[in-house]
Each structure stands twice: as structure tokens, then as C-alpha cells.
Amino acid sequence: MMESCPAAKRIGIIGGSFDPLHLGHLIIAQDAVEHLGLSEVVFIPAAIPPHKQQREQVVAEHRLAMLRLALEADARFSVSDIEIRRGGVSYSVETIRGLKESRPEAEWVLIVGSDTLVDLHNWYKIDEVLDLCEVATFLRPGENNLEEIAGKVLVAEHHRKRLIENIVETHLVEISSTEIRMRVAEGRSIRYLVPAEVELYILEHGLYRG
């Protein structure tokens, strides 16, 4: 009797500036594990995000350190510095190619927000990205009109259908890294918005003081 092959691990990818990481990121990651049947979620900080090339960020080492401190206690989450090591503008297609080469046995699921979903047609080599991995979309706060969102997805029809079918309704957490940076610059508290380790790191290193 032949032994059945074990199911491939499904691994989620959450990319971004993480400038800084906040609790909204972690809630999305946890929801992704539960709703998408993931064994792991990899957080990948961008070296230079394509859509944020004009905004000054804290150095990559700080963003990477905050991620590692916040995630080290949760075995479901990990951090990859693949984009920071590569340097330059961080294109998803290059990152996903690298991940698939390093772990070819895994099924990769790119996790995005609905604002990203309707902008996918502007991504570099988006058709290849959609051929390389599954994309799951999590609705952002206040966005629940699926028909309206679907009408804004402007990729090839066979990809569009899969994307629309993979929209997930989960916890809606209205926290942004922009708000956190502003609060720090204004001397206001960020407790309960970021993990305690991230709050302490920001204070110790004087980040976002303007």
C-alpha cells in the first residue's frame, strides 16, 4: 500500500514598510492563519516600497529589529529579511520567486488589503505574481461593498475571478503606522496600538521624534 504524501504547507506572506509594526498587522496575521489554513505567516519588511519611494523611513535595521522583537514569542509568525538583503526597490515578484526557490514544497499565499487589491494592475509583472502564488484579500475598515470592490479589480479575467473569490471578511482594526508616527512626534501615547516590545524600542532609540 502506498503512503499518502503529506499536504503541502500553506505559508502566508505579509509585506510592507512596518514603520512601525502595529497590532493591526498582528490581528490580520492571526485571522489569516485561522481563515486560510496557514501553518505560518512570514512578515517581510521592504527595503524601499515601490509606492513609498518619496517618503523617508527609519532605517531597515530598526524596522527589522522591531519585527523580530514583537514576533519571537509566537511560533506561527516569522520574519524574512529577503528584501532588505536584496536592497533597492522591493518588487513582490522577485520576493515570491526567491521564497519559492528556498521552499519549493510550500504553497505561498500573499495577504493584501482591499486597497491593494484594486491597485494590483499597477504592480510590476502582476500576471507573474498571480501565477506564482495565491492572493487573499482582507477587507479594510468601512469597506464591505464587494460588488464595488470587484468592479475596480482590473487584471486578466481568469485572475480576477480567483481574486474576488478569495476576499476574506475578518476583524476590522483601524490602526495605521502613519497615525503611530504622528502620535510619537506629538508626544502622545502609543500603548495598546503597538506591541509592548515595539513601544519600548521606539522610546529607547528615539524613533519618529521628527
pLDDT, tens digit (0-9, with 9 covering 90-100), for 17-32: 999 999 999 999 999 9
Contacts of 109 (CB under 8 A, 6+ apart): 10, 11, 12, 13, 32, 36, 38, 133, 134, 135, 136
- Each domain of the chain, given as residue ranges in start order, spans 10-173
Give the domain 10-173 fold.
Rossmann fold (3.40.50)
User: What sign has the CA pseudo-torsion 112, 128, 163, 120?
Assistant: positive
How far is 29 from 110, CA to CA, in rounded Å?
Answer: 11
pLDDT tens for 109-131 read 999 999 899 999 999 999 999 99
The region of weakest confidence among 47-51, 79-83, 153-157 is 47-51
